[in-house]
Amino acid sequence: MAVAKPEFLQKQAVGPQKTMRETVSVFGIKMLGLLAGFISISVLAQMVQQADLGLYLLVFSLSGFFGICIQFGLGSVSLKRLAETVARGEGWKTGGIMAAALRILLVLFGIFAVFWVLGVNRLVLNGLFSLETTGFISVILLLWAGLFALQKLIAESLRGLHMIRAASIFDGAGSAVFLGIILLIFFGFSAEIWLETVLIIAVTVFGVTGLIGLLMLQKHTRFVGSGPVGVPFGVLVLAGPVFLTEMAVFVNNQADLWVVAAFLPAGDVANYGVVLRIAILVMLPSIVANAVIIPKIIQLNTLGNRDGLNRLLGVSAALAFGVTLAMVLGLFLFGKQALAVFFGPSYAVAFPVMMVLCIGRLINVFTGSCGQVLLFCGHAKKMMVSTVVFSAVSLLIALLLVKGFGPIGVAFGFALGMAGQNIVQYLLVRRLISVSTIADFSVLFERHAPARSIK
């Protein structure tokens, strides 16, 4: 008996106008989310002491890392399986795929919680970061990490279903806006707030957003009551390389804050955390481009359309790089004043660190979606190895430089590692897949530009 496709799959459009609408809307959503996060940190800088802000940023970063550990690559695997299912016209399988992923996630969270309670929490909080009071922070970290994992799975699953706008909302933007609004309300009534209150609010916001995301997935896939598709062990084997890759990527983006927290005073942690958030804001154009084109990368690769894939990658990288370059130039001219205005004069000293981080990310954007192409076009292990190696290189350089050069030495180590990683991955894509991911500005000026010749 044939099963009808979900309604949203029957409405899928694939033309360039839809792609442009998605890109514009995703850019707006991501921009709103990142600006909301920026405003939240700015408000907290006025309401809590600098050391407390540093602790909040550290807890947020660690929660994201442990969220990646919990979900074990399931988000990317779910994206790939759902996108391939949609491309083959087998939308009736989506509920079973989601049911399997959610059940595995619940088991993984339980395993992590057991290890966390048995001593991992003390090893991390007391051993690595020398935090004196760890009970409350330990509980918050566990809950927040689980919610990070859930939101990652929800967002990537929605992206695999080509629900790009919804995926962008549940990939952090919705929670950031919700949290920003609440903190602004608190700021309107009081000039101070306890750090514990902020952490409780943040976890609650993530919980509510995750529940809404689950309800949306249920509406479109009917995963409740569906039998899981695929053997869980097989899913975990597929997720292994993705998990290691995602961990390495997160280390490249966040572990520099951990190095600063482990070796330098609390004030440096707050300063570094603030400029790291700004550097992530600079990555917005690339984040938007990847959010829109990843399902299309999978589809074009599945169909063997190398010319279309090559053009898609060149155009997306060119657009992202142009916007990123303008943002970095603006920060170079006005960044120091902006830090003093939005966060306070004591944060302006982090301007050189901010510029080093931004330059590293500028190189990242120019090389395009090389990592995503490797990950979703059959070369996940090579993407994993290159990412892990350069993450280790970044960490090693940062550890060697932190004592002598402080925060700017840490920033240099991670910027250098990020640039090296993306250059190597670009070369791997050219050799293995015969497409180029770097920015191609020529296609922006020609209506019917020919595909780039890759030799």
pLDDT at 400: 94
Helices 266-282 and 16-47, axial angle in degrees (round to 10): 160
pLDDT at 79: 84
pLDDT at 308: 86
CA distance 175 to 375: 27
pLDDT at 10: 44
The count of other CB atoms within 10 Å of the CB of residue 352 is: 14
**Full-model pTM:** 0.74
pLDDT at 228: 62
pLDDT at 447: 52
CA distance 383 to 403: 31
pLDDT at 14: 45
CA distance 282 to 370: 18
- Residue 446's Cβ-count burial label (10 Å; 0-12, 13-18, 19+) is exposed
Q: What is the pLDDT of residues 177-215, one digit of tens each?
A: 999 999 999 988 887 889 899 999 999 999 999 999 999
Write out the H or E segment, with its range, that includes residue 241: helix 232-263
pLDDT at 159: 86
Tokens of 369: 């979606």
Q: Can you say how many angstroms the Cα of residue 205 is from the centroid of all Cα atoms in its chain?
A: 18
pLDDT at 281: 82
pLDDT at 455: 46
pLDDT at 12: 45
pLDDT at 380: 76
Residues of the chain predicted below pLDDT 70: 1-23, 91, 132-133, 226-240, 443-455
